[in-house]
Amino acid sequence: MVDGGAVVGGRQDTERGGDLIDPARFLRDLANPGLVSAIDLMRWLAAAVVAVSHARFPLLKGYGLLTPEQRPLWVQVWYFLTGYYVEAVLIFFVLSGFLVGGMGLARLKQGTFDPPGYAIDRFSRLYTAFLPALLLSVLLTWVGMRWFDGTGLYSGTHPTFAATGTTLVFADNTGWGNFTGNLFMLQWFRDSLFAAPYGSNPPLYTLSSEFWFYAVFGLLGAAANARAGRRALLVALAIAATLALGKTFWIYLGMWLIGVAAAVIRPPRLPIAIPALGLFGAILILRRYIDAADITDQVLRTSALYGVCISMGLVLLGLRGRRLPWAESMAPFNKVMADFSYSLYLIHYPVLILFVAALGTISGLSGFAEGMAPTEPLALAAYAATIAVSFGAAWIFARIFERRTGKVRGWLKRHLLKR
């Protein structure tokens, strides 16, 4: 049990009634090992979907370029499943709001929210792995451009990229100015007016969103307990940052806040996790239909993405305050995978691009420069190897850098929070 309460219908129910909004209860929910394991499962699955989906792009032809003979049922299913990389990123946003925003509001409710400590916690969580990942992106992009661009992956001429309508030209997104923009988490906002994600690592665009979610929340959290004059300044800074980052940030911030809401709303007595998961699946199917039908209405597309986030928020809400033996049984495995999920997200793209480019340049096989059908044995072997290399590199990277987050956090607090 989480807090010694009675279990009602599989739910750990200690408080009958009470306010609809109850941030403090969330901290007790996080003592539930089943919920922690379920969150770990979501984290590593989302990262794996992103990495496995991205590994398809530089190797395999787009679905529209495949002949009927190259599209057996298993190919159709695989392309369908590996088309959810955008939705997987949005799950990260919801989980981030759930954990960071939920814990922040709970501490505000308890009167224990410490703005400097919060800032160090968030900075160390992001930058302990992000800074070496950014430097690694510089190195791998330079190596790829210098020796392995025979496939056109760095110069933007590779046909599988062109078939997806991408405008990525990794060679254009290098240089000191772009590096500095990434270093200060300004990549991608306002159509990359400030900076583009560095080199061959376009997924870095989400890291800037996370940073500014944390910053805006931290400013408002600090304002909550500040005196009037300082409170006005902090709120003004939060509003100014939000306005400066543009409408795409506003959309993503709304998705992050869905996770916050799932953390602070009192969980319902009725079991809603499974119905919410069904809703989540239905909206995912709708999302693929919107893409397949080439529907360009931005309101509809954004609404569908919000549907993904809302349904995931309901899943999280439904998991709170309940025993989850299925998740507890998976806890050791989920923790191992989740412990390098952030690293996997950070470095998988430059690693897999360089690996595929090197395979193509060294082997001289035309398939690497033209894209291959997924039914070709060489394509399947190269795809499996690319995924294995990406996961292996991420695990090593996490062992070297990400696992030191606690030590970095402790060092910063000892030296910056002397009182």
The CB-based long-range contact list for 280-286 (8 Å cut-off, 24+ gap) reads 280/308, 280/311, 280/312, 280/314, 280/315, 283/307, 283/308, 283/311, 284/84, 284/87, 284/308
Average pLDDT score, the chain: 90
> 140 vs 9, 151, 176, CA distance in Å?
53, 15, 16
Residues 343-352: pLDDT tens digits? 999 999 999 9
Residues 149-192: pLDDT tens digits? 888 888 887 777 665 555 568 888 999 999 999 999 999 886 65
pLDDT at 269: 87
What's the CA dihedral at 110, 119, 125, 321 to 10 degrees?
20
Extract the residue ranges of the chain whose pLDDT is less than 70: 1-18, 161-168, 190-193, 419
Boundaries of every domain in the chain: 6-416
Q: Is the pTM of this model over 0.75?
A: yes
pLDDT at 3: 37
Residues 79-119: pLDDT tens digits? 999 999 999 999 999 999 999 999 999 999 889 999 999 99
